[in-house]
């Protein structure tokens, strides 16, 4: 604790990391940003200068500061398992951005480490903290559209993938980096685990990757069957150019919920009557889900300070990784994969 506040260190001072860091610097009750850590000193220093905090070049350096209570891990996915296990061993509470890890086994190691050391582990599925998504969940649970039949979730990003993503064996591809949110959304709205998936992918916009990384895809479609009999459809894309496009349709036996889209936070329920709202166009996930990021950071601090359960668990992260892995197998082997 520093000055009676929960002291946070953010590991990874890039775009997503700085969203969390700025939240803890100004807007999270009972918490403060104590430090940022990044292996690129220029990036770490710039973040620290903006926030008025310390900076470190590794989590090992940060752990030498015993006043830091909790860490937000926003490093590349392949490093999550080792960083989280190290932090847990030091008895530090952890918020880990999605994707949780590369494999289910790594997720199990992270969960075991946090449980064994009695520290919190929250996963960064911020859409569960978005006002519109929460309203949609409440409408479903109230039975206003009857029983859910199918959830269709898509995320299409405007920017082209970064070269490190081309090797899906190291990055887990767009299903992990972009569409983990869609996978978690489908689990959340159906209230069920995936039973089987069939996915197809293609590279339509990244010609420079085709020769060396023939398995890379920048467009993906995945159909799913859930354990409770509900159906799912995911479509994702990178490099679309026209803007940030995230939306969900939840089809029930008595109606439908339409959520999100290029208009921003739009929620429409169609049944005997409907509610609608139209908002300005958005160009970035940083704009569309700005409040959701803040809400999940507030929730994490509250869980640590008041010893409450986190709202998005390691199990939630693990289940999304399991589906990502199954979807990538389906794309490469061109078959249905049963989970």
- Does one domain contain both 209 and 258? yes
Instruction: Answer yes or no: is 284 within a domain.
Output: yes
- Does one domain contain both 157 and 88? no
The rounded distance, in Å, linking the Cα atoms of 159 and 19 is: 18
- Does one domain contain both 151 and 224? yes
pLDDT along the chain (339 residues), means of 10: 94 95 96 98 97 97 97 96 98 98 98 98 96 93 95 94 90 94 98 98 95 95 98 96 92 93 75 48 53 94 97 97 96 95
Instruction: Answer yes or no: is 24 within a domain.
Output: yes
- Does one domain contain both 74 and 148? no
Instruction: Answer yes or no: is 177 within a domain.
Output: yes
- pLDDT for position 291: 87
Question: What's the number of domains the chain is made of?
Answer: 2
The half-sphere exposure of 225 on its side-chain side, counting CA atoms within 13 A, is: 9
The rounded distance, in Å, linking the Cα atoms of 172 and 321 is: 9
- Is residue 329 classed exposed, middle or buried when 0-12, 13-18 and 19+ CB atoms within 10 A define those classes? middle
Q: Which domain holds residue 25?
A: 6-125+293-312
Cα of first residue to Cα of last residue in the chain, in angstroms, is 43
Q: Does residue 261 contact residue 245 with C-beta atoms inside 8 Å?
A: yes
- Does one domain contain both 207 and 324? yes
- Does one domain contain both 243 and 255? yes
- pLDDT for position 276: 44
- pLDDT for position 263: 66
- pLDDT for position 329: 96
Query: What pTM value is reported for the model?
Result: 0.91
Instruction: Answer yes or no: is 258 within a domain.
Output: yes
- Does one domain contain both 41 and 168? no
- Does one domain contain both 111 and 139? no
CATH of the domain at 118: 3.40.50.720
Instruction: Answer yes or no: is 238 within a domain.
Output: yes
- Does one domain contain both 203 and 133? yes
CA distances 106 to 77, 101, 103, 113, 339, Å, are: 11, 6, 5, 11, 17
- pLDDT for position 264: 65
- Is residue 124 classed exposed, middle or buried when 0-12, 13-18 and 19+ CB atoms within 10 A define those classes? buried
- Does one domain contain both 104 and 187? no
* DSSP for residue 151: E
Instruction: Answer yes or no: is 206 within a domain.
Output: yes
DSSP-derived secondary structure for 313-324: -HHHHHHHHHHH
Instruction: Answer yes or no: is 1 within a domain.
Output: no
- Does one domain contain both 118 and 190? no
- pLDDT for position 244: 87
CATH of the domain at 266: 3.30.360.10
- Does one domain contain both 121 and 104? yes
Instruction: Answer yes or no: is 180 within a domain.
Output: yes
């Amino acid at each position: 604790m520093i000055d009676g506040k929960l002291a946070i260190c953010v590991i990874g001072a890039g775009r997503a990391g700085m969203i969390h860091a700025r939240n803890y610097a100004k807007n999270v009750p009972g918490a403060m940003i104590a430090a940022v850590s990044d292996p690129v000193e220029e990036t770490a220093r710039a973040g620290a200068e903006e926030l008025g905090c310390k900076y470190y070049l590794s989590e090992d350096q940060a752990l030498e500061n015993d006043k830091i209570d909790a860490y937000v891990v926003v490093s590349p996915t392949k490093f999550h398992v080792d960083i989280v296990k190290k932090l847990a061993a030091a008895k530090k509470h952890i918020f880990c951005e999605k994707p949780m890890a590369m494999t289910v086994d790594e997720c199990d190691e992270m969960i075991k480490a946090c449980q064994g050391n009695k520290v919190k582990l929250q996963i960064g599925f911020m859409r569960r903290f978005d006002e519109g998504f929460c309203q949609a969940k409440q409408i479903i649970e109230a039975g206003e559209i009857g029983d859910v039949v199918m959830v269709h979730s898509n995320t299409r990003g405007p920017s082209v993938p970064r070269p490190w993503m081309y090797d899906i064996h190291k990055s887990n591809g767009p299903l992990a980096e972009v569409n983990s949110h869609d996978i978690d959304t489908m689990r959340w709205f159906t209230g069920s685990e995936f039973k089987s998936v069939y996915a197809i992918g293609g590279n339509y916009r990244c010609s420079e990757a085709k020769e060396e990384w023939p398995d890379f895809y920048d467009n993906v479609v995945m159909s799913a069957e859930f354990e409770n009999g509900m159906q799912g459809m995911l479509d994702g894309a990178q490099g679309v150019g026209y803007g940030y496009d995230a939306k969900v349709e939840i089809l029930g036996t008595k109606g439908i919920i339409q959520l999100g889209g290029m208009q921003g936070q739009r929620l429409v329920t169609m049944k005997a009557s409907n509610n609608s709202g139209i908002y300005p166009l958005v160009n970035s996930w940083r704009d569309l889900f700005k409040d959701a990021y803040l809400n999940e950071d507030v929730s994490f601090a509250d869980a640590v300070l008041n010893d409450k359960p986190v709202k998005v668990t390691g199990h939630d992260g693990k289940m999304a990784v399991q589906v990502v892995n199954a979807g990538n197998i389906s794309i490469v082997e061109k078959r249905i994969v049963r989970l």
